Chains A and B, each alone.
Chain A
């Protein structure tokens, strides 16, 4: 039930070593990598449509896809198609949000949850159940969106009142503080009402199971707006990577760059969280993997992170469907365990690129 705090790393605790020096991708290899990643994502999509706890043979799935009337038990159109579509969208959003986040904070450990987005969404959902007694899909979605937006605006406001938006560290600390506060209030409500706890504990693990396309249109709209802001932020992110002083010297409007980045992160994360509940690790891991393949230029890093995020989410969802027997393991849990272990392996091999 806890939501973890994020850590900032001081530049001097990060030690560069020659073994961490990444490759030097040329524009051609980068384009090839993007195409390969797109193919991997396509493969994950196909797997997500074909495999599940209801064993339907391949022919029947294809038949149902071509002709909805042929759908055995409405599994394909009722469950697999929506969760695949939503999974693609959520993974893509979280991957890109993570890349923007890490570029903005120059913190290789930054996760979109850091702005209090997940905690804000959780609290809003809990309040919805506590006050309104409802946990319908659309209400949850809208409440989560609202909560996520409010939380990140508060975090940015706090940081702006202090050292200003130009420095990344106060942002991370403000995010930690606001998250702690929101989690405490959430816990209080959850502990004082059984119905709220019942709804919350299912939501907070993060799952694609049983999610339908109802209301997903609203989330998609927010996600699209977030994507636009992310694209608009690409060149600023490339300047910010040189340090705030040089970025300023290059004519970067730092406050605007931060605000555009915030909007991108918040909108992308909020729409993802609204659909599945908080899902960790994609925002953290996808950009790290992407950086190894396409380098640090955000023009390539963003699409690569998005594709890797989408593929990761779908693959973990498929794993969750297969290992749970009749009850699926939610994708949030699979990601935490698989992602956590994979992350440890990567760190142990000294392959985490510093920022």
Chain B
């Protein structure tokens, strides 16, 4: 099994340099996960540094969403452990985790007869209890999340009436309202057109830059992943194939191994990040 720390010195170096003051945001040790005792990953080690945008990429069905769910404790590991800021997740209460870590699944359900503000306000759940009901502070945070995602004017619309892009912003607002320093996003750009995809990723980047949030997400578009991530982790065949900065990871060799894709990688004229150009079809 590839150890992430071994193959990605650049990414985990800052965290490793100051281990005592800043434990990694997330750390998987000897992780075995799967469904119905059929393991997808066995004995996997992976560390997510604080304050970075890390993106999991890989071919369809390679288990990147599974890995994200394991980090978000939606899928309890068969063996091994996940630590959140140095504390084993298993030893923490559900709400304690939720205050530190927010996860947006691929297909959340849109409840009926619910306004956008109501929907977003449910992100305040981990901060509430029988003895700490809804406060003005919760309202303020909800409104701030609506404003930050640019949907303040939609707040009183019914969530069922939103377009795909608007709804995705609402879900991200919900996650923001949770005010967790670590945010996991499972394919946040699926079903969106290119400009809305960019919209969402810019939003994610600004959340990372302005709030210092650690972001781990799953994306399909490699060029966009390269453009908006500090670090890429390529998974496939039950292991981590490559791990590091976009330029370290997005090489023709890795693409061939992980995606069975023949492609060249050139510098994106707009940003200088890697741009994947699939090889032309051979016409015989």
Binds B, one of A85-93, A205-213, A239-247: A239-247
Q: Which residues of B contact A16 (CB under 8 A)?
A: 160
B113-A248 in contact (CB<8A): no
Residue-wise interface mask of B (104-129) relative to A, using a CB-CB cutoff of 8 A (1 in contact, 0 not): 11011101111100110011011010
A337 within 8 A of B: no
Q: Is the CB of A296 within 8 A of B94?
A: no
Q: Which residues of A contact B102 (CB under 8 A)?
A: 249-250
Q: Which of A246, A249, A297 counts the most chain B CB atoms within 10 A?
A: A249
Chain A residues near B156 (CB, 8 Å)?
24, 26
**Docked-complex contact A235 and B128, CB < 8 angstroms:** yes
Task: With CB as the reference atom, state the residue of chain B lying closest to A299.
Answer: B134
In chain A, what residue has the closest Cβ to B155?
Answer: A24
A295 to B160 Cα, complex, angstroms: 12
Whether A238 lies near B113 (C-beta < 8 A) is no
Output the nearest chain B residue to A297 by Cβ-Cβ distance: B118
- Is there an interface contact between A252 and B125, defined as CB atoms closer than 8 Å? yes
Contact of B122 among A24, A26, A250, A295 (CB under 8 A): A250
Residues of A within 8 A of B94 (CB): 248, 251-253
Task: For B112, give its contact among A18, A26, A250, A354 (CB under 8 Å).
Answer: A354
Q: Is the interface of A mostly helix, strand, loop or mixed?
A: loop
For the complex, is A128 an interface residue (Cβ under 8 Å from B)? no
B105 close to A246 (CB less than 8 A): yes
CA distance A246 to B184 in the complex (A): 11
CA distance A246 to B101 in the complex (A): 12
Taking A24-B158, A248-B94, A249-B102 as contacts, is the C-beta distance between A295 and B113 under 8 angstroms? Answer: yes
Residue among A22, A232, A235, A246 making CB contact with B108, cutoff 8 Å: A246
B108 touching A245 by the CB < 8 A rule?
yes
Q: Is the CB of A242 within 8 A of B122?
A: yes
B200 contacts A by Cβ under 8 Å = no
Residue of A nearest to B111 (CB): A241
Q: Does B72 contact A (CB under 8 A)?
A: yes
Interface residues of A in 240-295 (CB under 8 A from B): 241-243, 245-246, 248-253, 291-292, 295
A26 to B117, CA, bound (A): 11
Task: Tell me the nearest residue of chain B to A106, going by C-beta.
Answer: B109
Q: Are B125 and A21 in contact (CB under 8 A)?
A: no
Closest A residue to B96 by beta carbon equals A251
B74 at the interface (CB under 8 A from A): yes
Interface size class of A (residues with CB under 8 A): 20 to 34
Identify which of A232, A253, A297 gathers the most chain B CB atoms within 10 Å of its CB.
A297
A242's nearest neighbour on chain B, judged by CB, is: B108
A105 smallest CB distance to B (angstroms): 13
Q: How far is the CB of A233 from chain B (nearest CB, A)?
A: 11
Whether the pair B113, A22 counts as a contact (CB closer than 8 A) is yes
Determine if A250 and B123 form an interchain contact, defined as CB atoms under 8 angstroms apart. yes
Chain A residue nearest to B105 (CB atoms) is: A245
* In contact, B126 and A251 (Cβ under 8 angstroms): yes
Beta-carbon contacts under 8 Å, A1-42 to B = 11, 16, 18, 20-24, 26
A241 near B123: Cβ-Cβ < 8 Å:
no
B157 is an interface residue with CB less than 8 A from chain A: yes
Query: Least Cβ distance of B26 to chain A in Å?
Result: 14
Instruction: Let me know if A333 is at the binding interface, CB within 8 A.
Output: no
Determine whether the beta carbon of B109 is less than 8 Å from that of A249.
no
Q: Are B109 and A238 in contact (CB under 8 A)?
A: no
Given B93, B98, B109, B123, which contacts A243 in the complex, CB threshold below 8 Å?
B109
Q: Does A353 belong to the interface (CB within 8 Å)? A: yes
B99 within 8 A of A: yes
Contacting pair B105 A251 (CB below 8 A)? no
Contact of B111 with A296 in the complex, beta carbons under 8 Å:
yes
| A–B pairs, 26, beta carbons within 8 Å | A21-B160, A22-B160, A23-B158, A24-B158, A106-B109, A238-B111, A238-B122, A239-B122, A242-B108, A242-B174, A243-B109, A246-B104, A246-B174, A248-B73, A249-B101, A249-B102, A250-B125, A250-B178, A251-B96, A251-B97, A251-B99, A253-B94, A253-B95, A295-B114, A295-B115, A355-B112
Q: A242-B122, A249-B72, A251-B99 are in contact. List 8 more A-B contacts (CB 8 A).
A: A21-B161, A243-B109, A245-B108, A249-B101, A249-B104, A250-B98, A295-B118, A296-B111
Q: Please report B residues at the A interface, Cβ cutoff 8 Å.
A: 69, 72-74, 93-99, 101-105, 107-109, 111-115, 118-119, 122-123, 125-126, 128, 130, 156-158, 160-161, 174, 178, 184
